[in-house]
Structure 1
Amino acid sequence: MSLDVTLQTDPDVVLDDPIAEARRQVEICNACRYCEGFCSVFPAITRQKVFADGDITQLANLCHNCRGCYYACQYTEPHDWALNLPRALGEARVDSWERLAWPGGLATVFQRQARAVAAALVVGFAVMFALIAMLPGDGEGFYAYLSHGATVAIFLPAFLFPLVSLSVSIRRYWVEVGGSRVTWAALSGAVKDAATMRNLGGGQGQGCNFEKEERYSNGRRHVHQAVMYGFLLCFASTSSATVLHYVFDSPAPYGFWSLPKLLGVSGGLLLVAGCLGLVMLKRKADPNLGVAGQGGAAFVWLLGLVGLSGLLLYAVRGTGLTGPLLALHLGAVLTFFLLTPYSKMAHGFYRFTALVKDRVGR
């Protein structure tokens, strides 16, 4: 196949600008259209003739980095055009997270550097060890080490601030990509796409090529679902405990067959299994098709630690290990909350918004 069109095909011209490089490659893809049925990105490309910066930002966040397009492409290296769309869109995607994050600057640090995530985790541990040592407990179970009031005073702001930060960032994203009025059909369609991880299923649901090059696999789809549903179950566990405490005057601790424990344990197991699966798949994947930097991998470890420490904390309840493990678990949770707007965790919010925008634009 040959492209009889005028394109900016020299990768050296736009190498230092992630948006410009992604635009160069997207324009070639739009002329070729061989990968049109692979995922939502390629139908979205064909709806455009000219790609503004906001269009590239939208395509980058719509991309799930399944890498099927790379292995099907005839214009990858050693071809002069040197297409590597997964990496180009990945760099543009991270660039958008860094530019649109509020307040600015923090995302640039935590998206790229594993050391920054590790340092934040150490600080989180130190803070929780210090607070548990200084503040008296006033109840049973974990509240014997840190009172309910102190727990709320620490974690309510740590939960609300990331929501405010992400709200500002997503609003900036919506403006940049030219988002318009959201319909119920678009929102429900995006929820379905996210719930099923449809864009990790390939064009025919056979999976993607992330860890097996030219062979298809649904492995990455399944571990992403484990992480997502594990996290949602853990959140539901905390929410149900809050309802029991304030509405039904039933404070913790709760038994194993209570709703908070059933949701929390099942969510923790899924979260740990999913994070471990992501780490293993990352080892098999070609690093040249991803984004440089280890911040994303470090955050996966952090998320897995949140789940694992929660499970261990429940397992050692009533023993001498309860206090130290409580400090480690709460330190990991505190770090997770505060880093959410500036770490790989933010990609879930951007990607869902991109799915909504894609549904609106159809």
Structure 2
Amino acid sequence: MQSLEALTREASALASNEITVVSAMTAAEGEVSRIMQICNACRYCEGFCAVFPAMTRRLEFGRADAHFLANLCHNCGACLHSCQYAPPHEFAVNVPKAMAEVRRQTYVDYAWPAGFGALYKRNGLTIAVALAGGLALFLILATAMKGSLFLPPLAGNFYAVFPHNTLALLFGAVFLFSMIALGVGVRRFWRNEDPGAMSGAAIGEAAHDVLSLHYLGGGHGEGCNNASDAFSLARRRFHHLTFYGFMLCFASTCVATLYHYLLKLEAPYALASLPVVLGAAGGIGLLAGPAGLLWLNLKRHPQHGDVAQRPMDRGFIALLLLTSASGLALLMLRDTSMMALLLAVHLGIVMALFLTLPYGKFAHGIYRSAALLKWAVEKRRPSGLLVED
């Protein structure tokens, strides 16, 4: 009987040969294929996360499989520190890094329009900050030209600066564009490897895993590795603050919309009103969560992911931080003569955030949710190995 070392060596060789046969695969996709062949022979990490049981249902790892598994990976780092074939071993198995490189590639492959995805991939942080600054400056100049930049205190009446219909039309168009772009991307991702018919149980399991960030608990539920092999739940907690902070801000906007159109209650709203309370709570979450994620990103060990993706990650984090900081400043100073200036800055940043949603870190959350749903569907199919056509 062959030893495990011999089996994994043979798997590595087979995977390397496969890369030359499947010409459509990139080097990053080929590396995921090579590593998954080795992991499939070893299976030590099978219980760590959804990637490894999904891997065991496959004998070959084509382009679609690499994209699916890469987005299923939560980059917790547990498998890297448990792997006997991790660098400096000659097999150089680094699942988090290989998956992260393919995951970054999927942001471009599924982006619509495609050129926007490629541009953001190369210059994420620069584009995010420049777009936010440019849009904010445009709105500041427009406000100044109207003579509305330094008005007397207006008791938080934003519509005296920008009419409601103008804001609704402007942000409605931006939001619609983002949703269409994300929808096209997710549809492309899903059709790349259709797992079969969905069931209520599969949807429920996927929703639970997404909302609880289940797989950010790491392989043993102790959390993720970041700067070393030490486990911490900080990444999971900061993700929760960011996600639910964003959802509270979105809920605030939805409630304010219902107030305006259904109840005929127009802004400004009192500090104790539901839209303001939801928005303030969400703003605090969006300040604490991204600040923590940026701190972890700056400290992250280079082997725990794709270093080239960090400008994209930091671009999204920067926009979240700028959105929350400007929003909270606007809330605190809405009864002063600074309100119009802060409103223009805040709206410019929010517009930049929504315009870049389909091309950066937010898109990864959507694709990861789709990958979790795929896995929940796939695992309910009759047992058997999947081979890409």
TM-score, normalized by the shorter chain, greater than 0.5? yes
| 2:65 corresponds to which of 44, 55, 58 | 55
- Equivalents in 1 of 2:323, 2:15: separation in Å? 41
Corresponding residue SS for 2:232? coil
Query: 1:255 matched to which residue of 2?
Result: 270
- Which piece of structure 1 moves more, 247-256 or 280-289? 280-289
Residues 210 and 11 (structure 1), Cα distance of their counterparts in 2 relative to 1, 3 Å cut: farther
Amino acid at match of 1:46: T
Offset at 1:153?
1.6
**Is this contact kept in 2: 1:3–1:31, CA < 8 A?**
no
Paired residue for 2:383?
none
Structure 1 residue 145: Cα displacement? 1.0
Distance 1:327 1:11, change over 3 A: farther
2:53 aligned with 1:36, yes or no?
no
Q: Shift of the alpha carbon at 1:327?
A: 1.0
Unaligned runs of 5+ in 1: none
Distance 1:109 1:279 in 2: 22
Displacement of 1:12 after TM fit?
8.8
1:8-27 correspondence runs (5 A): 8-9=12-13, 17-27=27-37
Query: What is aligned with 2:232?
Result: 217
* Equivalent runs, 1:87-166 vs 2, <5 Å: 87-113=97-123, 114-134=125-145, 141-166=157-182
CA contact (8 A) 2:77 2:224 kept: yes
Structure 1 residues 297 and 70: CA distance shift in structure 2, 3 A: same
Superposed counterparts of 1:1-362, under 5 Å: 2-4=5-7, 6-9=10-13, 17-113=27-123, 114-134=125-145, 141-211=157-227, 213-291=228-306, 292-293=308-309, 294-362=311-379
Residue identity matched to 1:52: G
Distance 1:343 1:145 in 2: 32
8 Å Cα contact 1:103-1:165 kept in structure 2: yes
Q: Secondary structure at the match of 2:361?
A: coil
> 1:130-175 CA deviation, whole Å, 9 max, x = no partner?
33335688x9611111110111121000001110111111000001
Shift of 1:124: 1.6
Q: Give the superposition deviation at 1:118.
A: 2.0
Partners of 1:12 and 1:189 in 2: how far apart?
A: 36
Query: Using the alignment, how far apart are the partners of 1:74 and 1:204 within structure 2?
Result: 17
CA distance in 2, matches of 1:3, 1:316: 68
Q: Is the 8 A contact 2:326 2:342 kept in 1?
A: yes
Instruction: Give deviations 1:267-325, integer Å, cap 9, x for gaps.
Output: 10011100000011112211233221412112101111111111110000111211111
Q: Assess if the C-alpha contact under 8 Å between 1:65 and 1:210 holds in 2.
A: no
CA distance in 1, matches of 2:350, 2:146: 19
**Bigger shift: residues 81-90 or 230-239:** 81-90
Distance 1:66 1:315 in 2: 38
Write the letter of the residue equivalent to 1:238: T
Q: In structure 1, the residue corresponding to 2:240 is in which secondary structure?
A: helix
Moved more, 158-167 or 108-117: 108-117
Structure 2 CA distance for partners of 1:180 and 1:127, relative to 1, 3 Å: farther
Contact 1:200 1:220 in 2 (8 A): yes
The unaligned stretches of length 5 or more in structure 2 are 20-24, 149-153, 380-389
Superimposed CA distance per residue, residues 12-43 of structure 1 (whole angstroms, 9 cap, x where no aligned partner):
98696111111111111111111111111111
Closer/same/farther in 2, CA of residues 345 and 197 from structure 1, 3 Å limit: same
CA distance in 1, matches of 2:146, 2:182: 31
What SS is found at the alignment partner of 2:39?
helix
Specify the code of the residue in structure 1 equivalent to 2:271: F
Aligned residues: 360
TM-score normalized with structure 2 length: 0.88
Deviation larger for 48-57 or 348-357: 48-57
CA displacement at 1:52 relative to structure 2: 2.2
Q: Percent identity?
A: 40
Given that residues 86 and 290 in structure 1 are in contact (C-alpha distance below 8 angstroms), is that contact kept between their aligned partners in structure 2?
yes
Q: Which of structures 1 and 2 has the bigger CA Rg?
A: 2
Please report the TM-score for the alignment, with normalisation by the length of structure 1: 0.94
The C-alpha deviation readout for 1:191-239, integer Å capped at 9, x for no partner, is: 110111100112332112124x222111100000100000000000000
Q: CA 1:250 to 1:203, structure 2 compared with 1: closer, same or farther past 3 Å?
A: same
Letter in 2 for 1:320: S
